Structure 1
Amino acid sequence: MEFLESNWGTILGLLVNIGVLKYILISLKEKFDDYQAKAEARDDATKSLCRTEIISICHKAQREGHIAYYNLENLTLLYKSYKALGGNGAAEKMYNKTINLPQIEEE
């Protein structure tokens, strides 16, 4: 009991500091969760845009029966980004079919 009487100020200060630290950690966690949610939404939007453009390039190339070199390069870069963001499915099948088409140099 003597310890509490002689150190009550230190103990009270410690408890206040613990409360402040808890408040800071909760605030940081909320900001981090919000940041993660926004980052996930950006990734989903980017993946969707990549998928749309991949399908567009593939449809055009398959309709024409060939793919221009510059479109093949764009398609490959889009596909790599799409896969890195977790994309798969129909776009993958279309990509694999399209890269095997004859390649032409377009002016």
Structure 2
Amino acid sequence: MQMYAAAAPAVLGYIVWLLKRQKRDRDANGRGTMLLLRVQLMEYHDKYMAKGKIPSYAYQNFVEMYQAYHELGGNGMITKMYKEIQDLHLVDKKGGQHGE
């Protein structure tokens, strides 16, 4: 029984260390994912704002990436870009505008 009592603090310390390490790794992965999403969102924004229109599939991708980015804690200038993308004319695959 004394052996278990002596080993418990070491085992608990190891478990705490593992949990902290896992959290650090998750935080780093989340931050990296957020940064990659930001780069892609900025590229979409620049490309389609220059064209003045956005295909529906690209708009859907942008919205889904923005939602993931926002859930990871991103905001700021990307939110402004999101609002600008929402104002663009949507076009389907054949080049026609939605709502025509």
TM-score (norm. length: structure 2): 0.89
Q: Runs of at least 4 residues of structure 1 off by over 2 A? A: none
- Which SS does the other structure have where 2:93 is aligned? coil
Q: 1:57-106: per-residue Cα shift (whole Å, max 9, x none)?
A: 11111000001100000000000000000000111101111111100013
Aligned counterparts, 1:58-73, within 5 A: 58-73=45-60
Pairing partner for 2:20 from 30, 33, 40? 33
Q: 1:16-68: per-residue Cα shift (whole Å, max 9, x none)?
A: 32221111100000010000000000000000011111111111110000011
Looking at structure 2, the residues matched to 51 and 19 of structure 1 have their Cα atoms a distance apart, in angstroms, of 49
TM-score (norm. length: structure 1): 0.84
Aligned length in residues: 94
Unmatched segments (≥5 aa) in structure 1: 1-12
- Work out whether 1:44 is the aligned partner of 2:31: yes
Paired letter, 1:46: T
Q: Point out the structure with max Rg over C-alpha.
A: 1
- Work out whether 1:95 is the aligned partner of 2:89: no
Q: 1 or 2, which has the higher helix percentage?
A: 1
